[in-house]
Structure 1
Amino acid sequence: MNLTVLVDNNTILDEYYIGEHGLSFYIEDNDKKILFDLGYSNVLLENMKKLNIKSEDIDILAISHGHDDHVGGIKYFANKKLNKNLEIIAHPLTFNKKIKKVYNLNEKENNFSIKYQCISSPLDINEIENMGSVKLSKNPIKISENIYFMGEIPSVIDFEKRYSMGKINIGGEYIEDFIYEDSALVYKSNEGLFIISGCAHSGICNIIEYAKKIFNEDRIIGIIGGTYLIDVDDRTKQTLKYFEENNIKNLYLCHCTSFRVKSFIDNVIPLKEVGVGMKIKID
């Protein structure tokens, strides 16, 4: 498997790509070309052009979850020339509308006003179906010879409780959004499993435990992607302990993992550098 970082908060030194708060990976597994997430804007296309990656060559578009920093770029991608056999893989809730509260300070009156901001896909499901064949699944799906979309992640780790982030529209009603669609990819090799996450709202350790269960495999080669670990709190400390107990040495933590958390983990398990333009190969 070859993986190239197309969108991330950071860029590689002396490599003149564009960064933004978002995530997208380009993955090659034998003859399959996979795009995992699309970032927030047209930055994806700018970096694809610089890296000589063509939109029409993408066989599979897999999406980790429905937040706009992972699926916002779809409206730009949809306007490009696409593979006529493009497959779009996601959880059934991925393209539901999502909103969050935004607080605005009125300095004159010394109070706050509240409004709701859309944080979901700029395209609805009908527009997305015009792009290619859409497969929405809660269950794991094999998408190439060695890569699997994990579907809905069960919550089994005590310190990784689900939390609400805004609201999601289900059946015409906005309810608390626990981001049940948050998923990941797994690369299965002879040496073990390599985890490719988006934001890991479902919990990076929950993701790993589910991958281990799906494949009956305890060896974890490494992880790349976001963890949504922001503070050096009990959850972060327990996560580091889990990484140590599972002998996970190749950590490419990025996007929604804060500097404080990366510094904390790096003191125990040296982290790998991540940024737009970085390429890794996993055998």
Structure 2
Amino acid sequence: MTILSDNLPGDKLQSEHGFAVHVQTSSTSVLFDTGQGAVFSANARSLGIDLESLDLLVLSHGHYDHTGNVAQVLAYNPGIHVHCHPAVLLSRYGVRHGKAFPIGIPDASRAALLSLPADQLHRSAQFHRLTEGVYFSGTIPRVTSFEDTGGNFFLDSTLFHQDTLHDDMALYIVHGDALTVVTGCCHSGIVNTVTHAMSCFPNVRLHTVLGGLHLLNASQERLERTIHALAQLNLTALVLCHCTGSAQGNAVKRALGDIVSLGHTGLQLDFTA
């Protein structure tokens, strides 16, 4: 796995408020999210990752910082198969200074997805296998009492209809007898997400969690309960990316120690050994 877009830069690489991860199996090239802007493709070139050879594109949810380069990826790969939740195409809004501003999938990305042949655009809310060892989480059940979407999100510019972001998806990767969970923003909550992952693979040990945890706006209670839950998982590695939050990430690292690291563009994890 290689991070192509993240909030922190790697050596001679660029950063942005966005997220994208490339996953290479023995036979399949998978892209999870596309970042926000030009950083994504520039970093891919620097890292020697050929965007024209991608087989699958998976979208975690319909926010601009994860779908900004969809049109470019589809232009590189006219035959690529895209997997996403049906709600990815919805219009979405955040709140700044009391006013609505758009945070949904960019128009060019939406148009590119809708232009795909029907057999290449797979809009599903169900857990399913993508390729060898790589799975689409489907809708993640919201079972904890302390986790929320991590902010004020709406489906309309009048800020009337709350957006619960039920299109928030994750990648589940099984390697050997271990399971890795890759999140985009984790609007479903990281505890909900890993609980769902473990229910899908009850006989596989949870090994690594990588991605955004969206703890940036978390209450102290949520942060403490999240840390407590993560501590019970016996993780080998927890890689904090994108929207986790600097202070919140530091609190997680202080509590959980050396298993925790900060993600950055160019970070690679190799599970082939």
From the superposition, tell whether residues 218 and 34 of structure 1 become closer, same or farther in structure 2 (CA, over 3 Å).
Answer: closer
CA contact (8 A) 1:191 1:221 kept: no
Q: Which runs of 5+ in 2 are unaligned?
A: none
CA contact (8 A) 2:68 2:109 kept: no
Counterpart of 2:182? 196
Instruction: After TM superposition, give the deviation of residue 163 of structure 1 in Å.
Output: 6.1
Q: Distance in 2 between matches of 1:280 and 1:98?
A: 33
Counterpart of 2:21? 25
Instruction: After TM superposition, give the deviation of residue 265 of structure 1 in Å.
Output: 1.5
Deviations 1:6-41 (A, max 9, x none): 0000012xx211100110001101110011001111
Give the partner amino acid of 1:268: A
Classify the secondary structure of the residue corresponding to 2:30.
strand
Once the two structures are aligned, what percentage of the paired residues are identical?
A: 26
Instruction: After TM superposition, give the deviation of residue 85 of structure 1 in Å.
Output: 2.8
CA contact (8 A) 1:45 1:77 kept: no
Instruction: After TM superposition, give the deviation of residue 89 of structure 1 in Å.
Output: 0.5
Q: Distance in 2 between matches of 1:174 and 1:264?
A: 34
CA contact (8 A) 1:29 1:145 kept: yes
CA contact (8 A) 2:20 2:34 kept: yes
Instruction: After TM superposition, give the deviation of residue 66 of structure 1 in Å.
Output: 0.7
Q: Distance in 1 between matches of 2:52 and 2:227?
A: 40
CA contact (8 A) 1:95 1:124 kept: no
1:213 equivalent to 2:199? Answer yes
1:38 equivalent to 2:27? Answer no
CA contact (8 A) 2:142 2:192 kept: yes
Q: Distance in 2 between matches of 1:242 and 1:101?
A: 30
Counterpart of 1:235? 222
Which of structures 1 and 2 has the bigger CA Rg?
1
Deviations 1:133-177 (A, max 9, x none): 1101110121110010101110112222456632226xxx97210
Q: Distance in 2 between matches of 1:247 and 1:187?
A: 17
Which structure has the highest strand share of the two? 1
Give the partner amino acid of 2:112: E
Moved more, 128-137 or 255-264: 128-137
1:183 equivalent to 2:179? Answer no
1:129 equivalent to 2:127? Answer no
Classify the secondary structure of the residue corresponding to 2:161.
strand
TM-score of the aligned structures, taking structure 2 as reference length: 0.90
From the superposition, tell whether residues 184 and 153 of structure 1 become closer, same or farther in structure 2 (CA, over 3 Å).
Answer: same
Instruction: After TM superposition, give the deviation of residue 126 of structure 1 in Å.
Output: 4.6
CA contact (8 A) 1:9 1:20 kept: yes
Which structure has the highest helix share of the two? 2
From the superposition, tell whether residues 263 and 162 of structure 1 become closer, same or farther in structure 2 (CA, over 3 Å).
Answer: closer
1:274 equivalent to 2:272? Answer no
TM-score of the aligned structures, taking structure 1 as reference length: 0.87
CA contact (8 A) 1:87 1:135 kept: yes
Q: Which runs of 5+ in 1 are unaligned?
A: 104-113
Counterpart of 2:247? 260
Equivalenced residues, count: 264
